[in-house]
A and B are shown apart, each in its own frame.
Chain A
Amino acid sequence: MTSVAAAPPRASWVEPPLTLIRRTAALSLVELQKLRHDHTELLTRTVQPLLWLLVFGQIFSRIRAIPTGPVSYLAYLTPGILAQSALFVAIFFGIQIIWDRDAGILTKVMVTPTPRQAIVAAKAFAAGVRGLSPVVVLIPVALLLGVSVTANPFKILAAAVAVMLGAGFFACLSMAIAGLAGTRDRLMGFGQVLTMPLFFASNALYPIEIMPTWLQVVSHVNPLTYLVDALRGLLIGTPAHLTLDFAVLLGATAVGIWVSGALLGRLVR
C-alpha cells in the first residue's frame, strides 16, 4: 500500500526557479515536436509579410510620401514588417491555450507540479519560434529588392532574440486576454480590436516624429515600437536605443508571463 508522508518536503530557494526552467524546457520541447510533425504553419506565415513588403513597400517607395532619412523606404519598412509578422503570429496565440483547455490538455498539465508561468512561457517560446519563420524568407527577399541588411551573425542573432521576445510578449498578452475572455469567439474579437491599433501606433510603417502628439505618447508605451527600433538598429544600421529596446522587451515579456500565468487558473474553473 502506498505510504506518503504528511509533511511537505522543504524546498531550497533555488528550487522554484529551477523548476520553472525545467518545466518550461519540457513544455517547449513539446511545442517544437508539434511543429516538427506539422510545419505547414511555418510556410503559410510567410505569405502575408511578403505581400506587405512586395506590394505596400514597393508602392510607398515610389510615392516617397514618408520621410525616412538616409535609408530607402523599403529598407526602413523591412524591420517593421518583421516586427509586424511577429505581432500577427502571436496576438491570437491565446486561442491555442483555449483549445488546450477545451481539449482537456491544459487541465491535465495544470494538475502536474508545473508552475502556471512555465505553461505560458513555453507557449511564448512557441510563438517566438513561429515569429522567426517569416525572417527566413523576408530577409532574402529584401536583399533581392536591394535592401542592405547586415551580414554580422551576432547582429542577426540579436535580431532573432528581439523577434522572439516581441512575439513572446504579444503571445502572453493574448493568453492574458484568453484568461479574462474565456472563449475563442471573445478572444478573436479582442484580438481584432488590438492588432491594428498596436501596429499603427508604432514606428513599423512611419517615423514616430510625423505622428500626432497623442499617438506619439501611445507609441512610446507600445512594445512593438521598441522591437522595431531594435530590428532597425541591428539589421539596417539606423540609430537605435538597443539597451532600452531590449530592457523593455525583456521586462514586458517577464511581466506578460507572470500576469498571463496568474490568469491561467480562470480558464479551468
Chain B
Amino acid sequence: MTTPAVEITGLVHRFGGVADVSAAVDGLDLTVAAGEVFGLLGPNGAGKTTTLRVVNTLLPVQQGRVTVFGLDVSRHATQVRRLLGYVPQQLSVEGALTGRQNVAWFARLYDVPRRNRAARVDEALAAMDLFDAADRLAGTYSGGMIRRLELAQALVGDPALLVLDEPTVGLDPIARDGVWDRVRAMRAERGMTVLLTTHYMEEADELCDTVALMHRGRLAAAGSPAQLKADLGPDASLEDVFRHHAGIDLAASGKEGIRDVRRSRATARKLG
C-alpha cells in the first residue's frame, strides 16, 4: 500500500494550550493520498491554516498524530521539512533581492548541490514564467509575479509535498488564473502532492482532486468535488455542499476574507 502523503489522526490544537479555550482544530482526521491535489476549505477561523501549520512543523502537535510520508512531524521535524515546499498566505519575498537571488537563496536552504544549483534556479524561474524578470528586484514585481516567485522558491528544492496557504488571496482574476495554471502544470510534470487551503470554492473546484470542508475546527465533509456535489443534487455547487454540511453560508465570512486580502496587499505595497 502506498504511504499517504499526509495522515492526520485526532488532531486537537488550542492556542495558548489552555483546556477551556475553544479548539482551533478539534479532533481532525484526514488522509491526503500521495500525488493528489487536496484542498482544505472553509471560512476564516475554520482551522485550515492551523492544520497546515501543524503539518509543516510550525506549530507543535498538542494532541493526536500527524505524519508526512510516514514521518511523524513531532519526532522527525527536520526530515519532514526536507520534503516540503511552502507558500504562506502573505506575499513574502525579499523585495531588496532580485527574483533570481530569492530563488537561489531557497536552493541553498534546500541543499541543492552547487554544480546544478544555477540550472535548477533557472528551471524554477522559467516554470513560473519569470525568467525574463529574474534579474529585477522583487520589490518591483506585481502581486501575481510575487506569488509565482514564491512558487519558484518552493519548487526549487523539488518537494514531495507542496503546501499552499490561500495561494491566490489578494490576487486579481488574471493573476489568480496564472497561479492555477502553474499549480496544474507542476502537478502534471512532477507528480507531487499539493495540499492547499482556500476559501474560494471556485479554486477548489478547479484545482483539487479531493476537498475537505472544515468548520469550527472540525471536518464537515470530504471527498472529490464532483462526488460531494452529486451527493447533494444535480445542480449543487461546492458552496451548496458547504452550506448543507456546516449550516452557514461561506459568504458570511466575507469580512474576514477582505481582511486577508488587505494584509496581503499591504505586504505587496511594502515590498514595492
Which A residues form the contact surface with B (CB < 8 A)?
1-9, 22-23, 26-27, 29-30, 33-34, 37-38, 103-105, 107-114, 265, 268-269
Contact = CB atoms under 8 A, between A and B. Distances in A.
B34 A30 contact: no
A95 to B, nearest CB: 14
Contacts of A38: 96
Pairs A-B, 6 closest by C-beta atoms: A6-B70, A104-B92, A104-B90, A26-B108, A4-B69, A1-B35
Contacts of B94: 30, 34, 105
Contact of B160 (A2, A109, A268): A2
A6 B69 contact: yes
A111 B81 contact: yes
Given A6-B69, A107-B92, A26 B160 contact: no
B89 A104 contact: yes
B27 interface: no
Interface in B103-162: 105-106, 108-111, 137, 150, 153, 157, 160-161
B163 to A, nearest CB: 8
Contact of A110 (B58, B93, B106, B271): B58
A22 B160 CA distance: 23
Given A2-B192, A8-B71, A34 B88 contact: no
Interface of B: 2-3, 5, 15, 34-35, 56-59, 69-71, 76, 78-79, 81-84, 86-94, 96-97, 101, 105-106, 108-111, 137, 150, 153, 157, 160-161, 163, 190-193, 267, 270-271
Given A111-B86, A269-B58, A1 B34 contact: yes
Contacts of A5: 69-70
Contacts of B92: 103-105, 107-108
A29 to B, nearest CB: 8
Contacts of A9: 79
A6 B270 CA distance: 41
Given A4-B70, A104-B92, 11 more contacts: A2-B5, A2-B160, A6-B69, A8-B71, A29-B105, A33-B101, A111-B57, A112-B110, A112-B157, A113-B110, A114-B109
A26 B106 CA distance: 9
Given A103-B270, A104-B89, A104-B91, A111 B34 contact: no
